[in-house]
Structure 1
């Protein structure tokens, strides 16, 4: 956040909240599009910060640095790592927490410079050299391997003359992404180059989630291209040494959790999840596996400009963000499917509020669980206001790790489900590298690979949304061992129809909002 605020200032951009909406004012008529894109992607965080809820915490974060711990043979795990290590002892879960990235390189690729850039990244970020081993007391610890012990030679397969080239590329990318990692021996980063033309390569890289997250994947690719460009032009990479590493964050986090400073955050979350906790009874197409699987499939679509604009306007009128509106709509849809008026939905959050964590590769992402309780006769506007308050409260107390919450609640473990929730909602931004935008570095152009990707799902259903221009991209990632594609397609259609009804009749009771098509209503 500190770096984003600095970039906003450097580009002479002014942010203000007007009637609950984030307004952007720029002295320059053509402000930096990357900064504008990041502002949109992190709109909820900025709204919360500018509203005053987190200013004290951020100010304290900028002033208080995370201390560097003394060198040791091993180090403690973070709260998130402890939870993920346990889950990853099951092979299916281990694979389910692989994070893949695939890019296309076009131009003159200097293999030696590329390998040297990767070596530099591995030496720069200790987390890329970290494994997880049991010490003499039986405790799992982080062990950081020396840089020289981690192989950096990038395997390269020549597929230029392959008759079934595309099929081979897809198969190799899938195999690369779906191979489990050995957390005890590592390395927990895999890379692979596939040459498909004289001047075109597919670059596949996979990290385990226990040392990485989505933000980290962006840092890795950004720094890899930056170092590569420097090495091919004979320059020194323009990056400052990292002051801290993930082990320092872990020690700092554990110290914070042992003191009184987080008690108010813990109390808030325990209050949110007191009493009997709901289990979403969404009808499935297949018997739920006794042990949770991580199979994945997805569908995609888009909401048109008119519907998107109407939803945004409704949210703005109530001083809510687009994410809050989408979260409320998914709550309403799940209510119509199940009749349950007490629903828990999860969503990831960057977990990098501290100023020292902006450029770190590591498992920093935290999970927020939003519990919404409402009634059949409540209007959608009332539900949205409730979801708004729940969301703001969660943002204010986001520093408390989800793993600690799960442990504190002493939940009865159900091996067929995730703790607390099985449905997530995410909102991102559809522009940039992820959407296929190219980056030109000297003779090399890098762009996103848009064919088959890793198909795993850590949850039963994930509703993914991304703003793109005047429209809203939609996607549902789901577990095909629980739901069939026809059910998920119908769920997506029902969500769109429900959103149209919400925009037209926000004061109508949730239980009366129409989500069925004309044909379904006739049959009914």
Structure 2
């Protein structure tokens, strides 16, 4: 067994988990609906080969007198269980299954194969965020497909070994430390930022504290609107991520004032050697949006683009340290930096198992990471959209209304990026 410090990203998640009850908000899920013949022993062998390739899947997590550590075991396995389908709605049942606790001192993941119906299966990977990020799930799709193909007598997988390990990355980044100039940037960037005291869809009394109980609300962006959104982003010389996050900032500013923070994930995978590494190599970045009523949507997007580029240049400060800086510089206590967030996935992976049809099932969060965390996943020319929301702050009707408001702004911005913010506010007032 070899031991390494946890990465900054892992440590923040692991420490937070020690103070939160079950279910942990950091339990992630990857689920597939499979039809046609499935070679279950070959799938198990492919999973075992994946674990041999990636150290984090055979690591355990704890602390000692040196701090938070990860222990890499020479052999190990992701527990694999085969169960009958317990019944119920596909999404609801998988969400409940994804809430089962994982003991990080034993294994960071669990794989379950459900016998869903004759000739149909549901495959669920439950994995803690200390061991995975979105890029890892795309890697999972690619490598499990190749390994299963080999195990069923097809082409050899021919997978290159990872360029480094998560443990080596943790050692290197901790030895390098945090650039003081980056910390100074965040202190200045967040200085005077107001707390987000209200949440869409309308001003209302909100409790001071919440637990992590959450639910989710869903919608889809059809292909024609998806094409219009991408065209509008090109015309504004921004990414769809900036455009969609600006829509979220507008909906928040309509109820909370014209200075709001929207969080989005950032990847640490800049070095080529990290491309093939399975593990948590992402963190949150708070982006500050100014949304004056007399501006156009295009103006707000242009400012958001400039701010986002500044933020990215200073992305190597862990979110946990940014939070301490913000408290020191006056962001209101109790209002939190990560009340609302957006995660956009433009290139989701695809599981390709010979002879098997696979369809990804996007499962709602086990618990609330933020008050409102919205996932937008490309599906052809359109997107699937899911928002996990804290039930202490949103009823089901309020959550549905909040998502409709975001879609209202997105549709208006796609039709006319020069629409005024005041016009958008007026439209939102009619949907609250």
Judge same fold: TM > 0.5, yes or no: yes
Structure with the larger RCO, 1 or 2 (CA within 8 Å, 6+ apart): 2
Q: What is the aligned partner in structure 1 of residue 343 from structure 2? A: 426
Q: Which residue of the other structure, out of 134, 139, 148, is the alignment partner of 1:214?
A: 134
- Whether 1:267 aligns to 2:156 is no
Instruction: Quote the offset at 1:168 in angstroms.
Output: 9.0
Aligned positions of 1:82-97 closer than 5 A? 82-92=11-21, 95-97=24-26
- Whether 1:74 aligns to 2:3 is yes
Q: Which residue of the other structure, out of 251, 257, 260, is the alignment partner of 2:177?
A: 257
- Whether 1:358 aligns to 2:275 is yes
Instruction: Quote the offset at 1:406 in angstroms.
Output: 2.3
Instruction: Quote the offset at 1:324 in angstroms.
Output: 1.9
Instruction: Quote the offset at 1:197 in angstroms.
Output: 4.5
Instruction: Quote the offset at 1:249 in angstroms.
Output: 0.6
Q: Equivalent residue of 2:284, what SS?
A: strand
Alpha-carbon separation, structure 1, partners of 2:327 and 2:241: 30
Q: What is the aligned partner in structure 2 of residue 494 from structure 1? A: 405
Q: Equivalent residue of 1:366, what SS?
A: strand
- Whether 1:332 aligns to 2:243 is no
Contact 2:259 2:291 in 1 (8 A): yes
Q: What is the aligned partner in structure 2 of residue 439 from structure 1? A: 352
Deviation track 1:223-275 (CA, whole Å, cap 9, x = no partner) reads: 223222212217653112234211001011112225xxx34333322221123
Q: Which residue of the other structure, out of 116, 136, 146, is the alignment partner of 2:74?
A: 146
**Bigger-Rg structure (1/2):** 1
Deviation track 1:68-96 (CA, whole Å, cap 9, x = no partner) reads: xxxx7521111111211121114446522
Alpha-carbon separation, structure 1, partners of 2:173 and 2:358: 36
Q: Equivalent residue of 1:101, what SS?
A: strand
Q: Equivalent residue of 1:343, what SS?
A: strand
Contact 1:76 1:250 in 2 (8 A): yes
Q: What is the aligned partner in structure 2 of residue 173 from structure 1? A: 94
Alpha-carbon separation, structure 1, partners of 2:348 and 2:229: 20
Q: Equivalent residue of 1:378, what SS?
A: coil
- Whether 1:155 aligns to 2:75 is no
Alpha-carbon separation, structure 1, partners of 2:173 and 2:368: 28
Aligned positions of 1:447-462 closer than 5 A? 447-449=359-361, 454-462=365-373
Contact 2:29 2:127 in 1 (8 A): yes
Aligned positions of 1:376-387 closer than 5 A? 376-387=293-304
Q: Which residue of the other structure, out of 375, 388, 391, is the alignment partner of 1:480?
A: 391
Q: Could you say if the C-alpha distance between residues 416 and 111 of structure 1 is closer, same or farther in structure 2, counting changes exceeding 3 Å?
A: farther
Contact 1:110 1:232 in 2 (8 A): yes
- Higher mean Cα deviation, 408-417 or 473-482? 408-417
Q: Which residue of the other structure, out of 120, 126, 143, is the alignment partner of 1:223?
A: 143
Alpha-carbon separation, structure 2, partners of 1:152 and 1:381: 48
Q: What is the aligned partner in structure 2 of residue 402 from structure 1? A: 319
- Whether 1:391 aligns to 2:308 is yes
Alpha-carbon separation, structure 2, partners of 1:494 and 1:153: 42
TM-score, length of structure 1 as denominator length: 0.72
Alpha-carbon separation, structure 2, partners of 1:110 and 1:504: 48
Contact 2:212 2:367 in 1 (8 A): no
- Whether 1:316 aligns to 2:234 is yes
- Whether 1:131 aligns to 2:60 is yes
Q: What is the aligned partner in structure 2 of residue 295 from structure 1? A: 214
Q: Could you say if the C-alpha distance between residues 454 and 375 of structure 1 is closer, same or farther in structure 2, counting changes exceeding 3 Å?
A: closer
Q: Equivalent residue of 1:462, what SS?
A: strand
Q: Equivalent residue of 2:293, what SS?
A: coil
Q: Could you say if the C-alpha distance between residues 483 and 128 of structure 1 is closer, same or farther in structure 2, counting changes exceeding 3 Å?
A: same
Deviation track 1:330-380 (CA, whole Å, cap 9, x = no partner) reads: 222212122x12111101123211111111111101212101234332332
Q: Equivalent residue of 1:279, what SS?
A: coil
Unaligned runs of 5+ in 1: 1-71, 160-164
Contact 1:285 1:482 in 2 (8 A): no
Q: Could you say if the C-alpha distance between residues 79 and 498 of structure 1 is closer, same or farther in structure 2, counting changes exceeding 3 Å?
A: same
Instruction: Quote the offset at 1:505 in angstroms.
Output: 6.0
Alpha-carbon separation, structure 1, partners of 2:389 and 2:309: 27
Alpha-carbon separation, structure 2, partners of 1:236 and 1:314: 43
